[in-house]
Amino acid sequence: MKIIQSSEGNKRQVQFLFNGPTQLTIVLSPNSNYNLTSWSLLAQVPKSGVPWNDRNTYFIYFGRGNENHQFGFTCEFTKNSGDDDIGDPVVDVQLVGFFLYGTNMATAEFIDFANRFPSWTDTMIWSAVLKQYTV
């Protein structure tokens, strides 16, 4: 993940650029002092999802067929009150990449574990990686 930030007055603009597997989920949770006021994904910011620690959450799913495609978008956050301090955290970001095929799909140990299930079961072998950031 690459992040580019800029600030002007009480507004902070954050540009996200993600590289990862073909299936990504991203959850944004702005700091309680900030509101997500616009983003490049849609003309309007959708309603918040289920609150997390009394903070808004925004869920993004990105699926594609090209393994080497980058995904990027820009968000603008507005501080609710007070002076903007460039050191204030603006948003927590949770990124989950799902490896449904390829060499990162499963380790040899995971495949061995899945193969020990009874023949009447149907296992799905794939892995996920979770990364969390504070911007």
Which residue bears the tokens 């980058």? Answer: 70
Residue numbers of the domain that contains 45: 2-104
| Residue 25 within any structural domain of the chain | yes
- Establish if 122 belongs to a structural domain: no
Instruction: State residue 40's pLDDT score.
Output: 97
pTM: predicted TM-score of the whole model, two decimal places: 0.86
Residue 123 lies in a domain: no
- In angstroms, the Cα distances linking 10 to 13, 69, 75 are 10, 33, 14
CATH code for the domain of 15: 2.60.40
Tell me how far apart the alpha carbons of residues 60 and 25 are, in angstroms, rounded to a whole number.
6
112 domain residue, yes or no: no
What is the average pLDDT across 45-62?
A: 95
Number of compact structural domains in the chain? 1
Q: Using one digit for the tens of pLDDT, what is the confidence trace for 16-25?
A: 998 889 899 9
How many Å apart are CA 52 and CA 75, to the nearest integer? Answer: 19
Asked if the structure places residue 121 within a domain, the reply is: no
